Amino acid sequence: MLGPYFGLESFPRVSFRDLQDRLISFVVMKIRNGEFTERRLARVLGVSQPQLHNVLKGARPLKPEFADCIFRYFEIGVVDLLSQAELSARLEEQQAEQAQFWLGALPAGEGALVPRKPSLQRGVVTSPWLRRLAS
């Protein structure tokens, strides 16, 4: 085996459902740590205690408005629900995509980038859409 069994590429991207689950886990952790009771948190968020309880145990879905209310109260955002490894992996992917786009590079072989060669003849337009603009 060449590398670790579980690498960043082993895990799928974070889905909306994953973020919902992480937000619910965050709230459950706050309650279990004794920072809040369900009753007090429900009162602060402006919902009933049974509604909060049912959302936390999964009997009711977490509505976007309720999730926004939790985000505002705890002063967190979606990025706070992601791990450092997930953020750095996604950042590396975006940087590689931007490099390919802005540098005009094409992927070649084992992750190496080969720059495109510009046309050496002046006045010769090779792209069909550039031809239309030039005429």
Instruction: Give the tens place of pLDDT for each residue, 36-75.
Output: 999 999 999 999 999 999 999 999 999 999 999 999 999 9
Q: What is the pTM for the complete model shown?
A: 0.62
Task: Provide the 10 A C-beta neighbour count for residue 55.
Answer: 21
Give me 111's structure tokens. Answer: 């992750």
Annotated domain spans of the chain: 9-81
**79 torsion bin: left (phi>0), alpha (psi -120 to 50), beta (else):** alpha
Give the CATH number of domain 9-81; options: 1.10.10, 3.90.25, 1.10.260, 2.60.120.
1.10.260
Helix H or strand E segment including 113: strand 112-115
